[in-house]
Amino acid sequence: MQALVRILGVDPGSRFTGWGVIESDGMECRYVDSGCIALARGKPMAERLAQIFTELGDIARNERIDEAAIETVFMNKNAQSALKLGQARGAALCALIMAGVSEPAEYSPRRVKQAVCGYGAAGKDQVSAMVARLLDHDGEFTEDEADGLALGICHAHHRRMAQAAKLALSQEEEAVS
């Protein structure tokens, strides 16, 4: 049994940045908090990026997170939207590092769906439903919240696999020596 780990999952976007915090004991995930940073429309872009930076930094500090995961970018986009998304991502990554997260993990949307739903082509509704089920949560999550939480679950899953592999390796080494 591992110590409890608090994981923040972030899905940055140029209009909405979804986030979710879960706690994992290495076996199960527990819901802690989630939400969506909605960028003020009509404000200059630099101010909107600073909003992501400030709010996400506050969340990371207030929720006392240990690790964080962020979504990699699906690259079938045009250069203009890739630039906008890049700016939001830059603000989010700066916020995480400045809040003390040493190395945010990155997962592709496909891998997140695989971890949460069991297959990488799952739809948005399926992700939301599975996130609520895995976290034993009654209410409904918004799409953005669910994406943030799914990233957290994916990271917990990845940590579990990595530790199981490490354990297996050390047992093998012990058996050999």
Which residue of 59, 93, 117, 127 would you call a contact of a copy of itself, by CB under 8 A?
93
Q: Does 162 bind a copy of itself (CB under 8 A)?
A: no
Nearer to a copy of itself, 48 or 157 (CB): 48
Phi first, then psi: give them for residue 69, nearest 5 degrees: -135, 145
Eight-state DSSP code of residue 137: -
Buried b (16+ CB within 10 A) or exposed e, 44-58: eeeebbebbbebbbe
Of 22-30, 68-76, 122-130, 137-145, the window that binds a copy of itself (rule: CB under 8 A) is 68-76
Which residue of 91, 135, 150, 151 would you call a contact of a copy of itself, by CB under 8 A?
91
Please state the closest distance from residue 161 (CB atom) to a copy of itself, in A: 21
- Give me the long-range contacts of 76-79 (CB less than 8 A, separation at least 24): none
Residue type, 174: E
Q: Does 87 bind a copy of itself (CB under 8 A)?
A: yes
Q: Does 104 bind a copy of itself (CB under 8 A)?
A: yes
Count other Cβ atoms within 10 Å, centred on residue 174: 8
Nearest to 148 by CA among 133, 125, 128, 129: 128
Distance CA 7, CA 132 (A): 16
Q: Does 149 bind a copy of itself (CB under 8 A)?
A: no
Residues identified as active-site = 11, 71, 144
Distance CA 65, CA 45 (A): 28
Of 19-27, 84-92, 130-138, 140-148, the window that binds a copy of itself (rule: CB under 8 A) is 84-92
Please state the closest distance from residue 103 (CB atom) to a copy of itself, in A: 6
Q: Does 85 bind a copy of itself (CB under 8 A)?
A: yes
Residues that bind a copy of itself in the complex, under the rule CB under 8 A = 44-47, 49-50, 52-54, 73, 75-91, 93-98, 103-104
